[in-house]
Structure 1
Amino acid sequence: MTLTFAPDTDDAIPLYLVPKDGVDAFRKTLSGRDAGWLDARGFKGNLGQVVSFPGDSGKVALAVVGYGDGKARARKRFGTATARGVLPDGIYRLVTELEGDALDEVALGWLLAGYRFDRYAKNPGPKANMIAPDNVDAARIEAIAAGEHLTRDLINTPANDMGPDELEAAARNLASRFDAEISVTTGDALLEANFPLIHAVGRASPRAPRLIDMRWGADGPNLVLVGKGVCFDTGGLNLKPGASMGLMKKDMGGSATVLGLAHMIMALGLKLQLRVLIPAVENAVDGSAFRPGDVLPSHKGLTVEINNTDAEGRLVLADALAVADAEMPDMIVSMATLTGAARVAVGPDLAPFYATDDMDASAVKAGAKRAADPVWEMPFWTPYEPRIEPGIADLDNAPSGGFAGSITAALFLKRFVTDTDRYLHFDIYGWQPAAAPARPKGGVGQGARALLEALPGMLKL
């Protein structure tokens, strides 16, 4: 399955995009028969409403999809994408006066609506496809859709087929496709290379922990993407209840998202030097598992008291962030399915993010709006820093009290980025709980499109 536009053809079926306030004008362009057909179908231009018109041969001659009004589009982004699953089989040509970001959103939504996860069961996508609309950068939109496809597939794959080995294989496949360099430090070699936190979290699993390190590009500013790769999280000795463990195949959603973003960056040939770091582990339980009360060293030299083995994501990220920080890149971005507190605060749709630079934060928010990839800025609130300082060690991985869980986790990570001025952290969910336009239930990327949109301005590409 590939999410691409159809090749151009003279036989394409016209697909008219009509807003609520444009229905009367569109009706006047139709023949008497077709106008009657439109009326009989009750077409009001509602967002995603579809009517197809039969021709003399019985095949579809033209079709119309409602574009709604501003309020409807604000409440349901990619709303027209539902048309792809409703329209009859065929290749369509979009007819619209839209341009710019609005047209890009319609085109991208069409491609994303074709995604299906079909590795284990037949789950055919819609048979309708569309020629790339005029005045859109089709190659760019297809690259974005392909990156999102990669992210979704990685998250949706269950942990029995997506452990650290398989995550490494996915990274190697991506590196091979774009001639990137990749190295992996695995198992006890992590201790020799001074990555003690990654090793500690993953050592109880028979699937060896590792740090995946991919580099691409020889010119331009330096960008490092760090993605949490906890391929399954039992909670460790602080074992999760069954209901909380059910979705933990998605705990590598941060790594899946940075790999998807890396695909977009490399496919589009952005003029930057990219590094992707993924600490890939399984947080399992056996006699060698790390324990509550342990005090562990880190790559940075800071010590960490373990007060909850289920707060493991920040531990593996800490070592990866420290090695990223040592090279003092122009920007570091971390992405992780890190805290339940973030979900309580903003729900599953919004990706909370933190930024050390106000201009970067503004750029991400503007990019998110243009890319229909919603984010929400959160503060690195320094008055909370004493909460992550336990006294017995430099840092506490799970402060008691329950307040500001996402913020204290972000502050913990920020302690490992001390030499790089520009740092962004995304506390994503990585999962669509119920199907929505262009977003089937299951794994989903968050923040990647917003960042892709913002990067040229932030890094002056």
Structure 2
Amino acid sequence: MPSVFETSSTAIPITFVTKSSWDAVRETLPPAQRQFATASAFAAKPGAYLALPAPDGAIAQILFGLEEDGARSRDPFRPGALPGLLPPGTYRFANAPHDARLAALAFALGSYRFARYRKADRPDVRLTPPPGIDAAEIDRIAEAAMLARDLINTPANDMGPEELAASAQALAAEFGASFACTIGEDLKAQNFPLIHAVGMASDRAPRLIDISWGDPAHPKVTLVGKGVCFDTGGLDLKPSSGMLIMKKDMGGAANVLALARMVMDAKLKVRLRVLIPAVENAVSGNAFRPLDIFPSRKGITVEIGNTDAEGRLVLADALALADEEKPDLLIDLGTLTGAARVALGPDLPPFYTNDEALAADVARCAVKENDPLWRMPLWPAYDAWLDSKAATITNAPSGTFAGSITCALFLQRFVEQAKSWLHVDIYGWTPSAKPARPEGGECQAARALYTLLSERYA
């Protein structure tokens, strides 16, 4: 997508104000503009917007309200509302918002529109980059975020396993990465029985997408993303309300592709691998059933406690493959549990790791990038809840407690050799629009993780 940045000597100034700064700012305005603001009852509330006229009728400047510096509810992405408010033109920040870099990123993210199926013109506004801001870096992040949003927003009839693989292949080709795909019955032949089991009921063949990029001598970073392109719940069928936005169940895959785009575009010094098990969890005569038992790539046998806990199954085989080459850092992302949403809501995905240094870095980068993440424990006492009387483990322990934790503990069984492992249980969706975050598919965790990787492997 085209950049929102454009340098212009005639850019219209945007003045950021808070309730406490408004009186001082108002006194600096020319009398006619001051009177216009008073007549318009502009009160500098967060999100308040006012275009002040010049004597010739043009726009002289924009006033835009922000929260106070110390406000608990302060949103660094508040300026992301501007693209939907501003008339066409090029603008600049006349004074500093709370965080100029995040404000510029929010401006870029707020320009996104999903326009595949109907006319939805992108706002015709541009921003002169604030001083000291790396516009190319912000473009890199915004473009990747928009890739994730587009993939998630595309309905399942146009974003099945084959189409997801095609998108991954196009990304690999763009950056000269290698691409491979194991499809259908070949999954069984090449020892990916859990991926095959989940995807076999659909007439859209399951597959394992495998991308490699970078110098093999560099540290190995492997990304694994859940690519369930639609989730009916299988024979443990979801209600219609639970199925409504299940096109987003490939949000983990979309976000690892977004993260991979950032990494490759920035030419980070890593040997990157991306693994995406892409399936549709459908219902048919050959669908996998409750209490079926399947082997896994790792040799662990898995009893199916619930067919709607399918994401951890496909991730298990992919994680086992990733773990075999002992990566320096192994990261998996998936839209996995309703329990995570009950605990932390849609905006705050939990993450899990036993690496204390990694946990601290993830938490810090999440705050820095306004890409919220919250650490949850891999609580050892709950590991016994995965025990099965007929197999090594069950994919869905009985009871309703600690669902996100037990999912993480399930996945941990398939990771032994990676030097560090990080699991993130994302939502991948914005239920109601916020500044810079339109309703629909969302890029979650990828920006924070890109910052982490940039710091470690720049």
Query: Structure 1 residue aligned with 2:185, among 181, 185, 188?
Result: 188
2:125 aligns with 128
Query: Is the CA contact 1:77–1:437 (under 8 Å) kept in the aligned structure 2?
Result: no
1:249 aligns with 247
Q: Partners of 1:222 and 1:364 in 2: how far apart?
A: 18
Q: Which amino acid aligns with 1:198?
A: I
Q: Partners of 1:180 and 1:73 in 2: how far apart?
A: 44
Structure 1 residue 152, shift from structure 2 partner: 0.5
Query: Structure 1 residue aligned with 2:229, among 231, 237, 240?
Result: 231
Structure 1 residue 41, shift from structure 2 partner: 2.3
Query: Is the CA contact 2:17–2:44 (under 8 Å) kept in the aligned structure 1?
Result: yes
Query: Structure 1 residue aligned with 2:277, among 273, 276, 279?
Result: 279
2:45 aligns with 46
The answer on 1:108 being equivalent to 2:139 is no
Q: Partners of 1:4 and 1:142 in 2: how far apart?
A: 6
Structure 1 residue 434, shift from structure 2 partner: 0.7
The answer on 1:262 being equivalent to 2:260 is yes
1:148 aligns with 145
SS across alignment from 2:407: helix
RMSD: 1.5
CA shift digits 1:227-247 (9 cap, x unpaired): 000001111111111111111
2:63 aligns with 64
The answer on 1:22 being equivalent to 2:15 is no
Q: Partners of 2:311 and 2:183 in 1: how far apart?
A: 18
SS across alignment from 1:70: coil
Structure 1 residue 28, shift from structure 2 partner: 2.9
Distance change (3 Å), C-alpha of 1:47 and 1:78: same
1:137 aligns with 134
Query: Is the CA contact 1:3–1:114 (under 8 Å) kept in the aligned structure 2?
Result: no
Query: Is the CA contact 1:19–1:66 (under 8 Å) kept in the aligned structure 2?
Result: yes
SS across alignment from 1:68: coil
SS across alignment from 1:314: helix
Distance change (3 Å), C-alpha of 1:183 and 1:375: same
Structure 1 residue 3, shift from structure 2 partner: 5.6
Question: Which deviates more from structure 2 when the two are superposed, residues 364-373 or residues 35-44?
Answer: 35-44
Distance change (3 Å), C-alpha of 1:151 and 1:12: same
CA shift digits 1:272-305 (9 cap, x unpaired): 1111100000011112111111110011111101
Q: Partners of 2:145 and 2:279 in 1: how far apart?
A: 23
Structure 1 residue 391, shift from structure 2 partner: 2.8
Q: Partners of 1:73 and 1:96 in 2: how far apart?
A: 22
Query: Structure 2 residue aligned with 1:367, among 365, 381, 387?
Result: 365
Question: Which deviates more from structure 2 when the two are superposed, residues 341-350 or residues 77-86?
Answer: 77-86
Query: Structure 2 residue aligned with 1:175, among 172, 175, 180?
Result: 172
Query: Structure 1 residue aligned with 2:426, among 417, 428, 450?
Result: 428
State the percentage of identical aligned residues: 52
The answer on 1:160 being equivalent to 2:184 is no
CA shift digits 1:43-68 (9 cap, x unpaired): 33322221112223322122121222
Question: Which deviates more from structure 2 when the two are superposed, residues 50-59 or residues 147-156?
Answer: 50-59
The answer on 1:200 being equivalent to 2:197 is yes
Structure 1 residue 389, shift from structure 2 partner: 1.2
Q: Partners of 2:457 and 2:334 in 1: how far apart?
A: 26
Query: Is the CA contact 2:67–2:74 (under 8 Å) kept in the aligned structure 1?
Result: no
Q: Which amino acid aligns with 1:136?
A: I
Query: Structure 2 residue aligned with 1:315, among 313, 316, 339?
Result: 313
2:447 aligns with 449
The answer on 1:406 being equivalent to 2:404 is yes
Query: Is the CA contact 2:323–2:416 (under 8 Å) kept in the aligned structure 1?
Result: yes
Structure 1 residue 414, shift from structure 2 partner: 0.4
Query: Is the CA contact 2:76–2:103 (under 8 Å) kept in the aligned structure 1?
Result: no
Q: Partners of 1:270 and 1:37 in 2: how far apart?
A: 51
1:335 aligns with 333
Structure 1 residue 460, shift from structure 2 partner: 5.1
Query: Is the CA contact 1:356–1:421 (under 8 Å) kept in the aligned structure 2?
Result: no
TM-score, scaled relative to structure 2: 0.97
Question: Which deviates more from structure 2 when the two are superposed, residues 264-273 or residues 33-42?
Answer: 33-42
Q: Partners of 1:97 and 1:156 in 2: how far apart?
A: 34
Q: Partners of 1:23 and 1:189 in 2: how far apart?
A: 66
Q: Which amino acid aligns with 1:70?
A: D
Unmatched segments (≥5 aa) in structure 2: none
Query: Structure 1 residue aligned with 2:116, among 94, 119, 123?
Result: 119
Runs of 4+ in structure 1 displaced over 4 angstroms? none
SS across alignment from 2:66: strand
Structure 1 residue 214, shift from structure 2 partner: 0.4
SS across alignment from 1:51: strand
Query: Is the CA contact 1:261–1:449 (under 8 Å) kept in the aligned structure 2?
Result: yes
SS across alignment from 1:74: coil
2:211 aligns with 214
SS across alignment from 1:161: coil
TM-score, scaled relative to structure 1: 0.96
Q: Partners of 1:165 and 1:391 in 2: how far apart?
A: 37
SS across alignment from 1:96: coil
CA shift digits 1:350-375 (9 cap, x unpaired): 01110120111111111011100111
Unmatched segments (≥5 aa) in structure 1: none
Structure 1 residue 76, shift from structure 2 partner: 3.4
1:13 aligns with 12
Query: Is the CA contact 2:269–2:457 (under 8 Å) kept in the aligned structure 1?
Result: no
Q: Which amino acid aligns with 1:13?
A: I
Q: Partners of 1:14 and 1:204 in 2: how far apart?
A: 57
Query: Is the CA contact 2:352–2:408 (under 8 Å) kept in the aligned structure 1?
Result: yes
SS across alignment from 1:46: coil
Q: Which amino acid aligns with 1:360?
A: L
Question: Which deviates more from structure 2 when the two are superposed, residues 235-244 or residues 361-370?
Answer: 235-244
Query: Is the CA contact 1:47–1:73 (under 8 Å) kept in the aligned structure 2?
Result: no
SS across alignment from 1:201: helix
Q: Partners of 1:126 and 1:48 in 2: how far apart?
A: 18
Query: Structure 2 residue aligned with 1:387, among 368, 385, 388?
Result: 385
Q: Partners of 2:157 and 2:134 in 1: how far apart?
A: 38
Q: Partners of 2:72 and 2:384 in 1: how far apart?
A: 43
Query: Is the CA contact 1:3–1:115 (under 8 Å) kept in the aligned structure 2?
Result: no
Query: Is the CA contact 1:5–1:132 (under 8 Å) kept in the aligned structure 2?
Result: no
Query: Is the CA contact 2:225–2:315 (under 8 Å) kept in the aligned structure 1?
Result: yes
SS across alignment from 1:20: coil
